[in-house]
């Protein structure tokens, strides 16, 4: 079981569609590399679509936080889209739900980025 990433562009926003598990040794490095690639290509408005993420552990949570701070430190924005109940509950427990900008609709998420 691994994590997959598909990248697409909508109105200047880079959307990373993630699927699978974000855990130590599986998705964590994949997310890190994907976000680094996006930043290297000059885009710093990133929407992580977690709708098909069925499992995340503490390493995965840490990787989301690191991605968030990396993008923010580059002057950009990183938002989360379509949290499953499991991921939503974990972000609540860890008090990260209010740290991230979480959206449940792609169109409104896209329009919420600073132009």
User: Which residues contribute to the site for another protein (CB under 8 A)?
Assistant: 23-25, 55, 57-59, 61-63, 65-66, 68-69, 86, 90, 93-96, 99
Kindly compute the dihedral angle of the four CA atoms of residues 98, 111, 17, 38, in this order, to the nearest 10 degrees: -90
Q: Considering beta carbons, is residue 31 or 110 the nearer one to another protein?
A: 31
Measured from the CB atom, the residue of 35 and 110 that comes closer to another protein is: 35
Min dist CB 13 to another protein, Å, is 23
In 3-state terms, what secondary structure has residue 64? helix
Rounded to a whole number of angstroms, the minimum distance from the CB of residue 93 to another protein is 5
Q: Which is nearer to another protein, 53 or 110 (CB)?
A: 53
Q: 16 CB contacts (<8 Å, ≥6 apart)?
A: 5, 6, 7, 31, 34, 35, 38, 46, 47, 48, 49
Whether residue 20 contacts residue 1, with contact meaning beta carbons closer than 8 Å, is answered with yes
In the complex, the smallest distance separating the C-beta of residue 99 from another protein, rounded to whole angstroms, is 6
Cβ proximity to another protein: between 95 and 115 the closer is 95
């Amino acid at each position: 079981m691994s994590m997959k990433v598909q990248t697409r562009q909508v109105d200047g926003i880079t959307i990373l569609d993630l699927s699978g598990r974000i855990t130590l040794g599986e998705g964590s490095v994949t997310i890190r590399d994907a976000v680094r690639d996006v930043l290297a290509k000059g885009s710093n408005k990133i929407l992580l679509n977690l709708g098909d993420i069925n499992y995340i552990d503490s390493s995965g949570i840490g990787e989301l936080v690191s991605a968030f701070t990396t993008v923010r430190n580059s002057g950009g924005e990183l938002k989360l889209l379509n949290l499953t109940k499991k991921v939503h509950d974990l972000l609540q427990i860890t008090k990260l739900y209010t740290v991230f900008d979480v959206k449940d609709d792609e169109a409104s998420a896209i329009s919420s980025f600073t132009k």
